[in-house]
A and B are shown apart, each in its own frame.
Chain A
Amino acid sequence: DVKVTQSSRYLVKRTGEKVFLECVQDMDHENMFWYRQDPGLGLRLIYFSYDVKMKEKGDIPEGYSVSREKKERFSLILESASTNQTSMYLCASSFGNKPSYEQYFGPGTRLTVT
């Protein structure tokens, strides 16, 4: 079974703090993704990576950065957390060269910025 794990299920941070969200997958997937999920807005792509040290901006990258130093690990960084970044953050991974395109999601991190 593919497993995508996220470092925290719940996180509470203060405005201005630097926040790290970690994601690890165990299926040797090439692609990894970070989404945020908000009611009525669905899932919106923040960043994705198709290889180690490679990254591409998604639809809402402002206020976020990412790091992928190892194939299995993809980190999302909030340089200076703000209240409008309070959300559910979902990590996902997928094979890079198979036709199924299926994405496997972690359980999510609910981040509250106060």
Chain B
Amino acid sequence: QQQVKQSPQSLIVQKGGIPIINCAYENTAFDYFPWYQQFPGKGPALLIAIRPDVSEKKEGRFTISFNKSAKQFSLHIMDSQPGDSATYFCAPQTGGTYKYIFGTGTRLKVLA
């Protein structure tokens, strides 16, 4: 767990705002950088992921920014909606181990 630092712990934004969640890591062997989304009463589900050969990936309203030299990656949610209210986890992985290291989670609340 100490290898990954996720911030902030919680976040409240107005509808339409752009929440940004950050994940800093230490292990330079990580080669897969996903974000998972978890709604109350459900297990986490993969939201979006990036590999270290690109600096940004966009899927719909969700964007990952990746900064290899700074060893951090971020999740941006454009035009946030109340339905985006959930807990978000970064979970970088080293492919050969099939193991994730999960961040501590960010609880996002989007106000209507």
Q: Determine if A92 is an interface residue (Cβ-Cβ < 8 Å).
A: yes
B98: shortest Cβ distance to chain A, in Å?
5
- Residues on B with C-beta less than 8 A from A48 are 98-99
Q: B95, A59: Cβ atoms under 8 Å?
A: no
A58: shortest Cβ distance to chain B, in Å?
7
Q: B43, A106: Cβ atoms under 8 Å?
A: yes
Q: B95, A105: Cβ atoms under 8 Å?
A: no
Within 8 A of B (CB), among A55-112: 58-59, 90, 92, 94, 96, 99-108
Q: B45, A44: Cβ atoms under 8 Å?
A: no
B84: shortest Cβ distance to chain A, in Å?
19
Q: B98, A43: Cβ atoms under 8 Å?
A: no
Q: B41, A107: Cβ atoms under 8 Å?
A: yes
B89: shortest Cβ distance to chain A, in Å?
6
Docked CA distance A92–B91 (Å): 14
- Residues on B with C-beta less than 8 A from A24 are none
Q: Determine if A4 is an interface residue (Cβ-Cβ < 8 Å).
A: yes
Docked CA distance A103–B44 (Å): 9
Q: B100, A42: Cβ atoms under 8 Å?
A: no
Q: Determine if B46 is an interface residue (Cβ-Cβ < 8 Å).
A: yes
Q: Determine if B7 is an interface residue (Cβ-Cβ < 8 Å).
A: no
Q: B89, A58: Cβ atoms under 8 Å?
A: no
Q: B34, A40: Cβ atoms under 8 Å?
A: no
- Residues on A with C-beta less than 8 A from B46 are 102-103
- Residues on B with C-beta less than 8 A from A44 are 1, 102
A-B residue pairs in contact (CB < 8 Å), sample of 23 = A40-B104, A41-B1, A41-B104, A42-B1, A42-B6, A42-B103, A43-B89, A50-B98, A90-B43, A92-B43, A94-B98, A101-B32, A101-B49, A101-B95, A101-B98, A103-B46, A104-B45, A105-B45, A107-B41, A107-B43, A108-B41, A108-B42, A108-B43
Residues of chain A whose beta carbon lies under 8 Å from any beta carbon of chain B? 4, 31, 35, 40-45, 48, 50, 58-59, 90, 92, 94, 96, 99-108
